[in-house]
Amino acid sequence: MTESEAEEPNVEETELEERRSEPRTKSRVERTVVATLTDETYGTLTNHLYILDISPNGLRINLDRTVEPASRFDLSFEVDSLGSEMSGTLNLRCEVVWNRPLLGGTCVLGLKFIEPDEGAQDLVEQLLGYWSNKHDFALNRLREPVDAKVRTSEDEPWSRMVGVRKLSAEGFQFPTSLQFEADQEILVRMLLEAGTVETRAVVRWCERMKNGVNSVGCEFLELSASGKGFIDLHLRHHS
C-alpha cells in the first residue's frame, strides 16, 4: 500500500500554491563563493564558504570553522560568482545569531546583517530575485498517483513507498506522513509506465496540511536523458 491513499483536499493544495506564489522573504542559493572574512580574532582571511540561503536581513552559510554566537565580522565577495547576470562586490557587516557545528569541523551559521548600506541592500535584493526564480519549477498534476520509493542514504533499504501526485522533468510532489527537512537530499526510484527513473533529488518544501499529512516537493539534482524521456512520455499519457 502506498501513502498516495492519504488524499490531499484541493483547497489545501491551493493554499500551499498561493503561499509559494507570495513575495519570497528568503531564497535558497546553495553555492560556494570565495569570500574574505575579517574579524578581531583571525584578521582578514580568504575562505571558501557555502551559502545556503539569503534573506533581506541575513544569510545562512556553512563555514570551515566554528564561530560563536554574538561574534561579528566583515564579509565580502563578488556577486557574479552567484549569478553571471550580476556584478559588484557585496560588503556586509554580519553578526552570528546561532551556530550548528557539523562533523568534520565545519559549522552552519545563521547571520544577520548589521546596518547594510544602500549599495549592499540593492545587491541583496538582486540576489533574492535571481535565486527565487532559479529554484522555481513547474509541476503537472497526474490523473493517477505514481508509485515511488524514497530513501535518505545508500545504506537505507528501499522500504518507504509514496505516491507521486505531481511530476515534471524538474521535480515531483507527494503526500506523506513522513517528515523531511528542507534542503535534505534523498534518493528516489520512480516506477513509471515506460521505465524506472532512479536518481537524486533535494527537498524544496515539506509543509503540513490541515489533515495532518505533509506535502513534500522535491527538485531533481540530476536526470538522465532516458529518465527525462520516461517522464515526458508519462506526462503525455497521464496528466
Domains of the chain: 27-134 (2.40.10.220), 137-238 (2.40.10.220)
**pLDDT 10s digits, 29-42:** 777 889 999 998 88
**pLDDT 10s digits, 70-113:** 999 999 999 987 765 678 999 999 999 999 998 878 899 999 99
**pLDDT 10s digits, 123-135:** 999 888 877 766 5
Contact by Cβ (8 Å): 239, 141 = yes
Kindly give the pairing relationship between strand 140-151 and strand 185-191. antiparallel
DSSP string for residues in 184-238 = -EEEEEEE-SS-EEEEEEEEEEEEE-TTSPEEEEEEES---HHHHHHHHHHHHHH
**pLDDT 10s digits, 164-222:** 999 999 999 999 998 888 778 999 999 999 999 999 998 887 877 767 788 898 999 88
Contact by Cβ (8 Å): 226, 195 = yes
CA 180 to chain centre: 12
